[in-house]
């Protein structure tokens, strides 16, 4: 080994030692949170747009690393591994940095991350009180919406908690169908603006309400007339996978979301007993557009078949109400009802579809890190995406290994 090589090695070792010593002053720099979340289940039937299938299976196995990078930035990496149709699928869910020291209550997040749309979306599914996200999430957000982009958020200096923010994303997961691959999609396709306000009611209760607007530049499904001018409409749609997918099954140009949550715990001690009430409402408009702007087309010609209504006025909507009650340190129960009403374009008319779900869950928690859940689901939506009315039982476990960051409110 040459003298210059030895000197270089010594210099690198000294630099590493000095960096390690500096980082040791901040435990979050030298000891990042590293965790894995295991999710397994048995289910007696299939549900529309669900990531879970009939029989034994694995849900989202999550691998996560997070830490302060230095005194100015925080970083997080989350990968999910799923099993579907006998194949193992790997997807990067989060890989972002976030500022820690911007003035005036401002912060910036950049990379791949969960959008702050609505209430549930910025939380990982393993934190839910049910085995699946509500149908409205599966229909309009692909279960939970994460994407590549940037967020600017602001926390106001008020007595109540008040935050607001704006996001811009690539929007690949929110694109409308394109059967022939002929559309030119915007590279930055999704923009959102949100605000959330919350506070405490005495020592035992807290609340939060939120409003979100999401603009999807690539969300309209395009139509065009046949060459024979028979006043018939084609959908330029691919075989959109309404089953297992992290893409939105039903899209539109404008999405409006209203959400609320109320939490109660005796004496403010959330660990041993607490109640959570929450709900969200989604409305997705401008779901249909014309393929060619220079083609004169009378919107009145795209009419409903019998009483279905004008296709260009069609919209999607959905909502859910949920309550979850941990009545002892080891047991909790949940009740949720939700439905979605969506429209599909078939030729010159609109076909409406409705899915209703009533869900009851009972969970046993050996500790904060382990949950075994039994859930009953009654789904009513005959011919909704080919599914029948059914009663489904799900047995699920969710286990966390390692240090895991605190969950959202």
User: Which of 219-228, 300-309, 310-319, 357-366 has maximum average pLDDT?
Assistant: 357-366
CB 253, CB 286: distance < 8 Å: yes
Specify the residue for token string 């297992």: 244
Rounded-to-integer distance, Cα 73 and Cα 68, Å: 6
Residues in the chain: 409
DSSP state of 294: T
The answer to whether residue 18 is domain-embedded is no
Count how many domains the chain has.
1
Strand partners, 61: 81
CB 133, CB 375: distance < 8 Å: no
329 CB neighbour count, 10 Å cutoff: 13
CA angle 192, 67, 159 (to 5 degrees): 55
Determine the average pLDDT of the residues in 109-124. 97
pLDDT digits (tens, 9 = 90+) for 76-90: 999 999 877 777 888
CB 130, CB 336: distance < 8 Å: yes
State phi, psi for 140 to the nearest 5 degrees: -105, -15
CATH number at residue 291: 2.40.160.10
CA angle 215, 219, 223 (to 5 degrees): 140
The answer to whether residue 13 is domain-embedded is no
**Displacement of CA 253 from its chain's centroid (Å):** 18
CA angle 73, 156, 102 (to 5 degrees): 25
Rounded-to-integer distance, Cα 315 and Cα 319, Å: 14
The reported pLDDT for the residue numbered 24 is 42
The answer to whether residue 2 is domain-embedded is no
Rounded-to-integer distance, Cα 273 and Cα 136, Å: 29
Strand partners, 77: 65, 95
Query: Using CB atoms within 10 A of its CB, is residue 2 exposed (0-12), middle (13-18) or buried (19+)?
Result: exposed
The reported pLDDT for the residue numbered 148 is 98
How confident is residue 386, by pLDDT bands cut at 50, 70 and 90?
Answer: confident
Strand partners, 341: 317, 354
The answer to whether residue 5 is domain-embedded is no
Q: Is the pLDDT at 125 greater than 60, yes or no?
A: yes
The answer to whether residue 328 is domain-embedded is yes
The answer to whether residue 21 is domain-embedded is no
Write out the residue range of the structural domain in which residue 149 sits. 32-402
CA dihedral angle for residue 238, residue 242, residue 246, residue 248, rounded to 10 degrees: 70
pTM of the shown model? 0.85
The answer to whether residue 16 is domain-embedded is no
Q: Is the pLDDT at 293 greater than 70, yes or no?
A: no
Q: Is the dihedral of CA 379, 382, 388, 390 positive or negative?
A: positive
The answer to whether residue 26 is domain-embedded is no
The reported pLDDT for the residue numbered 141 is 96
Q: Is the pLDDT at 66 greater than 50, yes or no?
A: yes
CA neighbor of 43 nearest in space, from 397, 355, 400: 397
pLDDT digits (tens, 9 = 90+) for 165-177: 999 999 999 998 8
Tell me the CB-side half-sphere exposure of residue 248, using CA atoms within 13 A. Answer: 29
């Amino acid at each position: 080994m040459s003298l210059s090589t030895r000197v270089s090695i010594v210099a690198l070792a000294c630099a590493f030692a000095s960096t390690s010593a500096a980082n040791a002053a901040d435990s979050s720099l030298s000891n990042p949170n590293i965790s894995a979340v295991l999710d397994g289940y048995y289910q007696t039937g299939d549900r529309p747009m669900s990531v879970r299938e009939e029989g034994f299976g694995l849900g989202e196995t999550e691998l996560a690393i997070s830490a302060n990078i230095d005194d100015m930035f925080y970083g997080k990496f989350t990968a999910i591994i799923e099993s579907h149709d006998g194949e193992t699928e790997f997807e990067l869910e989060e890989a972002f940095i976030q500022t820690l020291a911007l003035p005036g209550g401002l912060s910036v997040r950049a990379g791949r991350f969960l959008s702050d749309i609505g209430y549930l979306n910025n939380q990982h599914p393993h934190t839910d009180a049910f085995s699946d996200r509500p149908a409205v999430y599966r229909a309009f957000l692909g279960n939970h919406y994460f994407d590549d982009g940037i967020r600017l958020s602001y926390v106001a200096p008020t007595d109540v908690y008040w935050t607001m923010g704006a996001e811009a994303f690539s929007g690949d997961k929110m694109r409308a169908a394109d059967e022939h691959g002929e559309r030119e999609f915007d590279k930055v396709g999704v923009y959102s603006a949100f605000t959330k306000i919350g506070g405490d009611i005495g020592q035992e209760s807290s609340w939060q309400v939120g409003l979100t607007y999401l603009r999807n530049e690539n969300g309209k499904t395009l139509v065009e007339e046949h060459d024979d001018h028979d006043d018939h409409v084609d959908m330029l749609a691919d075989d959109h996978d309404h089953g297992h997918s992290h893409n939105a099954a039903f899209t539109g140009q404008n999405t409006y979301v209203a959400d609320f949550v109320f939490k109660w715990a005796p004496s403010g001690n959330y660990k041993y007993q607490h109640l959570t009430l929450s709900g969200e409402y989604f409305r997705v408009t401008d779901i249909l557009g014309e393929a060619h702007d220079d083609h004169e087309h009378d919107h009145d010609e795209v009419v409903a078949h019998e009483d279905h209504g004008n296709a260009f006025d069609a919209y999607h909507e959905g909502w859910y109400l949920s309550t979850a009650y941990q009545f002892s340190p080891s047991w909790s129960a949940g009740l949720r009802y939700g439905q979605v009403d969506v429209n599909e374009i078939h030729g010159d008319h609109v076909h409406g579809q409705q899915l209703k779900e009533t869900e009851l869950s009972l969970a046993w928690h050996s500790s904060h890190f382990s949950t075994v859940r039994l859930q009953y689901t009654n789904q009513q939506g005959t011919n909704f995406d080919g599914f029948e009315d059914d009663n489904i039982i799900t047995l699920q476990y969710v286990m966390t290994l390692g240090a895991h960051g605190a969950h959202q409110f």
